[in-house]
A = this chain, B = another copy of it.
Amino acid sequence: MTYGGRIQRVRARMSELGIDVLLLSVGPDLPYLTGYEAMPLERLTMLVLPRTGDAQLVVPRLEAPRVRRRPELFGIVTWEETDDPVALVAGMIRRSARRVAIGDHTWARFLLDLQRAVPSCVFSRASEVVAPIRMVKDNDEVAALTRAAHAVDGVARDMRAVGFGGRTELAVHRELVDRMLAAGHERSNFAIVAAGANAASAHHEPTATRTIANGDLVLCDFGGTMDGYCSDITRMFHVGEPPNEVRDVYAVLVAAQESGVRAATVGTPCEEVDAAARSVIADAGFGENFVHRVGHGIGAEAHEDPYMVAGNTRALEPGYAFSVEPGIYFPERFGMRLEDIVVATTDGPVRLNVAPRDIAIVA
């Protein structure tokens, strides 16, 4: 869909919700609607998008040359180093606005300043307006997510031939980052490498002190951004043959992930995707060892709506893209997770990741 089409849909939703003006700064909503990404710095960049009438991008003069001009979408208002950009934005919305939606990631300092500048306005989250639109990926977006998924699939597959033993978690982390970049990602967003007991912490940070050794089960969870869309995959590696206990627990994990993916049909509430994976793990007696939700939406952000979590009754729509990533963790011992990105379609759930899902036995 074009930027213009997206803005039209956003405005329709603003009407539905009674939002008079949308304010977007740092974060993915602004590039989603305009192609321009604000620099995450102290100089305010803000799109002022009224429900009707022209949108204006307020931008520091210094950064104005970075903006690709799209007069059909927005005008450009620059401010000088000694101007007050909050006063500028406040002046634009004061005329008419009462209900203002502001980008979820906007810095609190700017929201506080704006609230003081336009005390009669009621502020709410921009995601209430934009998220339901962003959640539905169109064909181009699914294609971009698929390319990113296949890039990390290649990395996951190639890592099966790599030696892990004798290297630190940090060394393997760096190799993952290098390989993601070599595979076409413009940036790595994270690359968790967790060996043995370290994998019992779901968000473990790779260390330069933990050397991977024979008998270690190693969790690799990595992803980045490619052409503006994110990848995210988790695969397990074992140095040498895994013991039966690891194989047995892993079989439960594979079945749980399969169950979660199968449940992800159009119309199913998000929380049921979580429950479908969780019940398999609980039935095997490991319910206490699965300590997180089963998945998160993915797109321009590594984590975005919709979340596959108990309490989220939103029904899946065609074009929703999200992770299905159950995990089983034994504190002080070991941990495992298996993750693919899935898209809901009218033909059923489609996994974007195709790398082998068994435990890779490495040297």
Contacts and interface: CB of A to CB of B under 8 A. Distances in A.
Given A41-B303, A61-B291, A62-B203, A310 B81 contact: yes
Nearest to A108: B106
Given A81-B309, A201-B66, A107 B108 contact: yes
Contact of A106 (B39, B107, B203): B107
A196 interface: no
A174 to B, nearest CB: 9
A123 B127 contact: no
A202 B108 CA distance: 27
A127 B108 contact: no
B202 A62 contact: yes
B127 A39 contact: no
Interface stretch (A97-105, A158-166, A239-247, A260-268): A97-105
A203 B292 contact: no
A28 to B, nearest CB: 12
Contact of A104 (B81, B105, B107): B107
A204 B64 CA distance: 10
Contacts of A105: 107-109
Interface in A26-55: 39, 41-42
A310 B82 contact: yes
A119 interface: no
A87 interface: no
B205 A81 contact: no
A88 interface: no
A65 interface: yes
A125 interface: yes
Nearest to A84: B311
Contacts of A204: 65-66
A124 interface: yes
A282 to B, nearest CB: 15
A138 interface: no
Contacts of A102: 108, 112
Contacts of A108: 102-108, 110-111, 123, 125
A293 interface: yes
A122 to B, nearest CB: 10
Interface of A: 39, 41-42, 61-63, 65-66, 81-82, 102-112, 123-125, 127, 200-205, 291-293, 296, 303-304, 307, 309-311
Closest 8 CB pairs of A and B: A65-B201, A106-B108, A104-B109, A108-B111, A81-B293, A62-B202, A109-B125, A82-B310
18 contacts: A42-B303, A62-B291, A62-B292, A65-B200, A65-B201, A66-B201, A66-B204, A66-B205, A81-B291, A81-B293, A82-B309, A82-B311, A102-B108, A102-B112, A104-B109, A108-B123, A109-B125, A112-B123
